[in-house]
Every structure is written in C-alpha cells, then in structure tokens.
Structure 1
Amino acid sequence: MYSGVMRAPLRWVLWDVKDTLLKVRLSVGEQYCKESERMGLSLSPTEVDAAFRQAYQSYSRRYPNYGIAQGLDGQSWWMGVVRDTFSQCRVQDPALLNTMAHNLYHNFSNAENWEVFPDSKTALESCSSLGLNLGVVSNFDNRLEAILRVCGLLSHFSFLITSEEAGVAKPSPVIFNQALQRCGVPAASVAHVGDHYVNDYLTSRAVGIHGLLLDRHNKHFQRNVPGEHRLSSLEELPSRLQQHMD
C-alpha cells in the first residue's frame, strides 16, 4: 500500500514561506526601535523584543489566526500587537502608538525588511524545470502576495493560500485540503516543504501529502523524522523530488 502511494507521480510542490524561503532581516526589537527612533523615542531593542514576544503570545492565544473568528483582520491584529508592545515599554500616547503601529504594519511589506535565503530562488526554478507546479500554504496575513512580489518570488507560484484568507491556520488539515482542491490532484501527487515540525511536516503527512521538513540548523535531530523526509538545505530538494517522479 505504502509503496504504491509513493509511486503516484508528483505534480505539485506546496511551500511554507517564513523561515523556509525568506526570513525577517533584523530582529523585531531592532525593526520596532528603528520606527520608534523616527518618532523621537529611544528604546532598548532587547526590551522591545521581550515585550513583543509577550504581546504576540497573548494576542495569539486570545485572537488566534489574526482574530478572523472575532471580527478582526490581519492589519487590526498586528496593529494591536504593536500598540501592546510599545505600551509595555512605557509609550502611552495613543496617537503615537497608532502611528507607529500603522507604519510598522506597512513597513513589513517592503523588501528591505526581508531576506530571501540564498538557496530559495534556485530551488523554485529547479522545481519548475522539473515540470512541477508550485503553490503556497502559509500562516501569514494578506500582505504575503506583496512581500513575495517585492522579494522577486511571486511569479513562481500558481496560487497562494494564507491563513488570513483561508480563515483557518496550520496545523489544521483544512488549509491543506483547500490547497489540494486548488491543485486538483490527489494528495499523493503533492509534496510540501516547510520548517515547522508540526505545522508543516506532521500536518501535511497526516493528509497524505509528501511532507518534507527543512531543518537548516539541525533543530529537529531528536525528532522521529526519517532521513529521506529531512532537508538540511533547499539544494537537496530537486533530487529528493525526482525520486517521486520516476
């Protein structure tokens, strides 16, 4: 049964984005402090980083997936996180908090805030030259299309599904099932590449997709992930995919 599934010809590769294809260039504390400096404030990046982590975790618990179910959206959610972060750092002026939150939300759509990994573009081009179609499944807000465009990656993809748009986030299998509908092929003809053990690897495998775990820094060496499911860089991807195409 298992070997029969493995022989289904591969047609699509789905991709996670953040920390798989690109990453935030500076720490959140540094990015937020650059904005606060423009407003005449002097804050410590370390303090802002710690405040951000607290605000982000609190919002993620109270309003999961950008608060879609509670009537929020990605922009209002992120602006709330930014306001809470700076409030914890003793910034009290509501107008100033709003301005910084608005500016930072839009700043993160700019290419200079993101760094594309050196192996990303080559891997995407290699997949296309193998005749594979590419799509995105990402726990991201609706800025993702703009970010991929300014980073020069958007043209590689036939579709993007963000958790904000889908109304559901990984590790729910629902977002992968939405992606499979877009692909129009059985799960056994689809691979997924991502860096998160649960969200990307386990969840895609649970719906029958060939999940591959990108582990650039060997964080998951203790996990029970077979060697053929693990990538230490995207340079290894084309040969791994070809095994499912023969």
Structure 2
Amino acid sequence: MTTTGVLFDIDDTLVDLASAMTTALGGSLVETLSPRDARRLGLGAGVPAGDDAEEYRLWRTFSEHFVQDLSGSYDDYLAGRLSFVEMRVVRLHRASALLDLAVEDDLAQRWVRRFAELAETGVTSFPDVPPMLDLLDESGIPYGAVSNNVEAFQRAKLGYAGLERIDVVVGTDTLGVTKPDPAIFHEGARLIGVEPADCWYVGDNPVVDHDGSVAAGLRGVYLNRGVSGSGSSGNSPVPGGMRLTGERTMIRSLTELPALLGLDVLRGEAEPVR
C-alpha cells in the first residue's frame, strides 16, 4: 500500500488565479465605471492599454491592491466578518479609494456578478501542473487539494482549468474550519489514504500553507513562484499563535517536487530559506 501522498493548495499554486482576476477586473470595470473613470485607469477593451505611463501606473496601483488584497479583506471573510460577495465589494471600494474613484453600491453589486463570471471561468493551470500530476499518477501516489474556499466553488474552478482529475478536494465548508487549522489538513490526508506524517502539502503561502501544514504534522513545502498571488494575506497565525522557526522547504516550480518525493525523475532540488 502506498504510504506517501501529496496535497496541494489550489489558488496560485495549481491555478493562476491572480492573472485571471487581473483580466476579469479590467473586463468587468469597463462595464461598471463611467467612461471617464475607465479612461483614468487606462482601460480600453477591458485590459490596461498601457499607452499612457500615468494611466498604466494608476491601473497597476488599483489592480495590484485589489488582486493581492493588500487590505486583508479575504482574511476578514475567512474569519466570518464578511460574506464572500461582501469581501469582493469591499476590496473594490478600498482599491477605488486609493485613486479617489467612487463606485456606487448598485454598480458594485452589478460589477461583483460580472467579475465572478469572468474570473472563475478564466482560470488556467500553471504549465508545470499537468506534468506533475501525470508523474504522480504514473507513480501511484495519491493526491488531492485543500483550499481556503468552499469545496464546490473550488471544484468548478479546477474544472475550468482542466484539472478535473483532482477528485479529492477539501474546502472551508467540508469541516467548517480554515487553514491553518490542523483538522483541514488531516481531513485531506485521510481522504487520500495516508497518515499526516507521510503527506506532503504544497502551497504558495509561507505561513498558512507551509507553517500551518508543518504544525499539523505534515511535510510542508512553500511554492514560491516569484509572483504575487491573491486571496489571504497570510497574516493568519498558526494554531496557538506559534510561529515556526528555522528553515522552510521552498521550491520555485513543481518541477522540483519529484526530488523531494524521491521519484526517479529528478528535476531539481528544494532550497531551504529562512
């Protein structure tokens, strides 16, 4: 019986959510903002035109604040202080306030529906994901996903990204807890049939994903793709307020994961960082 398994985070680990959100933000705002405000952001047909340096700077400021959730709205959602829709509207208002843009509430409600359509159907997998899953399949290593979002929503997202083969998905509504609660990691390990100590967890958030999974008894791997992701700020502490010390196991691509798993196809080495 196989004793080693792998669990993955989904957003900005398996699927390029940040890019999908940026594109969807541009497309949905063209339908929401006044023509004058859309032009201020350098928006033409839904994406930043980039012809004017100042317009492009404003767009970058706005879009990065929204997509990277610099105000921590997603953490408020995970803590139950905001609903999912409220979280997205708050992110829009906070990013807009940076540029003195005003989005009326009725427009914001129309915007959030259109943004959801564009963002959720526009996700794609990172290029290194299908080959990694192929290798796990060939090696008989079970795998699944544990995400800080609701299960059905994340399953649909995986489907849009062409990753339907990931049939084990644990979401925030599965047990009613969020990462870094140990229970959500343990449930993922249980569902793929391995003990936590024999299960690797790969995610793009160094605190919630790496430190949280290590605190739960898994083998944490911090996937640092070198790009800013979306969603949780990573300020959520690991259980008991403990902050793990020492080195994190870091990789910059899933092509480096086989070396950690001890598979025959070795494509790189993990780099420990502090």
TM-based fold match above 0.5: yes
> Out of 74, 83, 105, which is 1:94 matched to?
105
1:121 and 1:86 map into 2 onto residues whose CA distance is: 37
Please give the alpha-carbon distance, in whole angstroms, between the structure 2 residues aligned to 1:124 and 1:78.
31
- Pairwise CA distance, 1:144: 1.4
Query: Which among 73, 88, 92 is matched to residue 82 of structure 1?
Result: 92
Contact persistence 2:224–2:253 (CA under 8 A)? yes
Q: Is the 8 A contact 1:32 1:48 kept in 2?
A: no
Q: Give per-residue Cα distances to partners, 1:199-229, cap 9 Å, x unaligned.
A: 222221222212222233399xxx8436xx4
> Which of 57, 78, 87 matches 1:65?
78
Find out whether 1:179 has 2:188 as its counterpart: yes
Between the aligned partners of 1:210 and 1:75, the Cα distance in structure 2 is: 34
Q: Is the 8 A contact 2:189 2:196 kept in 1?
A: yes
TM superposition shift of 1:33: 3.1
- In the superposition, relative to structure 1, how do residues 167 and 100 fare at CA in structure 2: closer, same or farther (>3 Å)? same
**Aligned pairs, number:** 224
SS in 1 for 2:91: helix
Among residues 116, 130, 141, which one is paired with 1:121 in the alignment?
A: 130
Identity rate of aligned residues, in percent?
Answer: 23
1:60 CA drift (Å): 3.8
Deviation of 1:116 (Å): 2.1
Task: Provide the TM-score with structure 1 as the length reference.
Answer: 0.75
Which residue of the partner structure matches residue 238 of structure 1?
258
Aligned-partner residue type, residue 225 of structure 1: E
How far residue 119 of structure 1 moved from its aligned partner, in angstroms, is 0.9
Letter in 2 for 1:106: E
Larger RCO: Structure 1 or Structure 2 (Cα < 8 Å, ≥ 6 residues apart)? 1
Q: Is the CA contact (8 Å cut-off) linking 1:79 and 1:98 kept in structure 2? A: yes
Amino acid at match of 1:46: R
The aligned amino acid for 2:254 is L
The 8 Å contact of residues 213 and 230 in structure 1, kept in 2 or not, is answered as: yes
Distance 1:27 1:151 in 2: 11
Compute the displacement of 1:95 (Å).
1.9
Is the 1:137–1:161 contact (alpha carbons within 8 Å) kept by the matching residues of 2? yes
Offset at residue 79 of structure 1 (A): 3.9
Gaps of 5+ in 2: 42-58, 229-244, 264-274
Q: Which has the higher helix share?
A: 1
Q: CA RMSD in A?
A: 3.2
User: SS of the residue aligned with 1:46?
Assistant: helix
CA distance in 1, matches of 2:172, 2:71: 17
The C-alpha deviation readout for 1:172-215, integer Å capped at 9, x for no partner, is 22211222332343212211112222222222122221222223
User: Per-residue deviation at 1:149?
Assistant: 0.3
- Distance change in 2, residues 1:51/1:192 (3 Å): closer
Structure 1 SS opposite 2:7? strand
Report the Cα offset of residue 131 of structure 1.
0.4
Using a 3 Å threshold, how does the CA distance of structure 1 residues 48 and 27 change in structure 2: closer, same or farther? Answer: farther
**Residues 1:165 and 1:77: Cα distance change in structure 2 (over 3 Å):** farther
How far, CA to CA, are the matches of 1:80 and 1:91 in structure 2? 12
Q: Residue type matched to 1:189 in 2?
A: D
Specify the code of the residue in structure 2 equivalent to 1:145: R
